[in-house]
């Protein structure tokens, strides 16, 4: 093999194969392009791939993996996420990883925004900590893996014909989540309903701008067997959402309106529950805090995800015994997942019984 072909073949080695756990502390961040199985359309965007930030923290021969999906709506992209992660490299390398709460507190103080970067660092540290302690992360959080909820499988916005096709392909999932919020809401739901009688959950992604229209649509959705509606109006229309809530029967869940723990108290009267995502929260520790705060306020809790690999989805799944609803299918939507982690059996999340996140290379 000549020098040139050696480097070409070295470059084609899958990323996970190159990640040997270093003895001394090491931190690596990288942008990973995840390819979608179907073009993914919501009210916000349409795309064939997503670039996420993945991070690896290595020490004592143990490698912890983390990931965060930058969210365009919050002015994040993969490059800004990587820049933010690299800005705290020295802090991460010099800190005691078993003092992860102190370390993440400092990361949160030093980095403005860039929640995907924080999530990637937090998850990598927690994966490392779980492996170091020799326990799965659900055990670290005191949870029973048998308590995981069913996850929905999401159907993005598409033509009625493709929507029917996607609904048929989702036959193994007992609950579907359907994206609406464009002019085609009723044909979309009718297309799904022409194929299945399963319970549906609907996400409008802030797509309706008018409170009367939202009430009409939500009450129609209830007649179609929809269990709850996520983020019917734009995030800042909290008063209008409160008005809607008094005129509909199914729960209203906040997603875009609920990014961090401090958002939750003001949502209490307008929403029945909150959708917590590690990418919005900045990792597992803040997501755990958000779930506990929402429960303390008597609200329903849900764990959601972005389009992600099994790294981020498995991290969320380790917290899922805590929540009422799960929408953790981001890894099922991609074609090049670098890891195996949480599995789905007839819709139920099945956590790996291995230390840390319990990931294995795909």
Residues near 329 by beta carbon (within 8 Å), at least 6 away in sequence: 151, 152, 153, 154, 173, 177, 305, 313, 344
**Contact characters 266-295, Mg ion, x per CB under 5 A:** ------------------------------
Residue 206 interacts with Mg ion (CB under 5 A): yes or no = no
Q: Which is nearer to Mg ion, 76 or 230 (CB)?
A: 230
Distances (CA, A) of 16 to 12, 32, 136, 278: 11, 11, 20, 22
187 phi and psi angles, rounded to 5 deg: -60, -35
Return d(Cα 201, Cα 304) in angstroms, integer: 13
Binding piece for Mg ion, criterion CB under 5 A, among 17-25, 66-74, 164-172, 202-210 = 202-210
Measured from the CB of residue 302, what is the shortest distance to Mg ion in angstroms? 9
Q: Which two structure tokens, joined as six digits, stand for 230?
A: 């996520």
**For 44, which DSSP code?**
S
What is d(CA 179, CA 257) in angstroms, rounded to the nearest whole number? 17
Q: Which of 255, 279, 324, 329 binds Mg ion (CB under 5 A)?
A: 255
CB 253 within 8 A of CB 205: no
User: Pick from 43, 75, 45, 41: which is nearest to 209 by CA?
Assistant: 43
- Locate the DSSP E strands across 236-314: 252-254, 273-277, 300-304
Residue in the block written with tokens 């055990």: 139
Least separation in angstroms between residue 77's CB and Mg ion is 20
In whole angstroms, the minimum distance from the beta carbon of 362 to Mg ion comes to: 27
Nearer to Mg ion, 255 or 272 (CB): 255
Strands of the chain, DSSP E: 26-41, 46-59, 62-68, 153-155, 176-179, 200-203, 226-230, 252-254, 273-277, 300-304, 325-327, 339-340, 343-345, 348-350, 360-361
Do residues 319 and 291 touch, judged by C-beta distance below 8 A?
yes
Nearer to Mg ion, 118 or 201 (CB): 201
Of 137-145, 248-256, 264-272, 292-300, which segment contacts Mg ion by CB under 5 A? 248-256
Q: Which stretch binds Mg ion (CB under 5 A): 129-137, 172-180, 218-226, 229-237?
A: 229-237
**Least distance to Mg ion, CB of residue 177, Å:** 8
Of the candidate spans 37-45, 196-204, 216-224, 349-357, the one that interacts with Mg ion by CB under 5 A turns out to be 196-204
| 172 in Cβ contact with 149 (< 8 Å) | no
Kindly identify the residues of this chain, within the stretch 4-43, that bind Mg ion according to CB under 5 A: none
Taking the complex as a whole, the smallest distance from the CB of residue 304 to Mg ion amounts, in Å, to 6
CB of 252 to Mg ion, least distance (A): 12
**Single residue of 67, 76, 122, 203 touching Mg ion by CB under 5 A:** 203
For residues 50 to 69, the per-residue mask of contacts with Mg ion, x marking binding by CB under 5 A and - elsewhere, is --------------------
Return the range that interacts with Mg ion (CB under 5 A); candidates 114-122, 178-186, 217-225, 253-261.
253-261
C-alpha count within 13 angstroms, C-beta hemisphere, residue 297: 23
Decide whether 136 or 232 has the Cβ nearer to Mg ion.
Answer: 232
As measured in angstroms, the least distance from the Cβ of 133 to Mg ion is 33
When the beta carbons of 63 and 306 are compared against Mg ion, the nearer one is 306
Minimum Å gap between C-beta 73 and Mg ion is 11
Residues lying near Mg ion in the complex (CB under 5 A): 203, 230, 255
């Amino acid at each position: 093999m000549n020098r040139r072909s050696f480097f070409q073949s070295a470059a084609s080695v899958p990323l996970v194969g190159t990640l040997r756990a270093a003895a001394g502390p090491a931190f690596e961040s990288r942008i990973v392009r995840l390819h979608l199985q179907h073009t993914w359309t919501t009210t916000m965007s349409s795309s064939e791939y997503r670039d996420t930030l993945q991070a690896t923290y290595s020490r004592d021969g143990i490698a912890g993996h983390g990931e965060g999906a930058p969210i365009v709506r919050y002015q994040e992209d993969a490059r800004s996420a990587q820049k933010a992660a690299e800005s705290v490299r020295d802090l991460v390398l010099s800190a005691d990883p078993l003092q992860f709460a102190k370390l993440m507190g400092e990361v949160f103080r030093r980095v403005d925004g860039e929640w995907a970067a924080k999530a990637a660092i937090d998850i990598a540290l927690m994966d490392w900590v779980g492996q170091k302690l020799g326990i799965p992360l659900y055990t670290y959080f005191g949870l029973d893996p048998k308590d995981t909820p069913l996850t929905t499988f999401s159907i993005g916005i598409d033509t009625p014909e493709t929507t029917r096709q996607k609904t048929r392909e989702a036959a193994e999932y007992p609950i579907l989540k359907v994206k609406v919020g464009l002019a085609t809401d009723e044909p979309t739901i009718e297309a799904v309903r022409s194929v299945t009688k399963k319970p549906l959950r609907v996400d409008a992604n802030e797509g309706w701008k008018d409170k009367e229209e939202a009430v009409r649509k939500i009450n129609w959705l209830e007649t179609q067997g929809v269990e709850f509606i996520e983020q019917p109006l734009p995030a800042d229309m909290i008063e209008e959402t409160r008005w809607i809530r008094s005129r509909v029967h199914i729960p209203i869940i906040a997603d875009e309106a609920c990014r961090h723990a401090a958002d939750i108290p003001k949502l209490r009267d307008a929403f029945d529950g909150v959708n917590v995502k590690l990418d919005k929260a900045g990792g597992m520790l803040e997501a755990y805090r958000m779930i506990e705060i929402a429960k303390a306020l008597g609200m329903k809790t849900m764990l959601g995800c972005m389009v992600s690999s099994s790294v981020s989805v498995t991290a969320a799944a380790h917290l899922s015994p805590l929540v009422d609803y799960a929408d953790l299918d981001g890894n099922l939507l991609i074609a090049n997942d670098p890891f195996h982690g949480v599995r789905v059996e007839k819709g139920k999340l099945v956590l790996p019984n291995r230390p840390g996140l319990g990931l294995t290379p795909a």
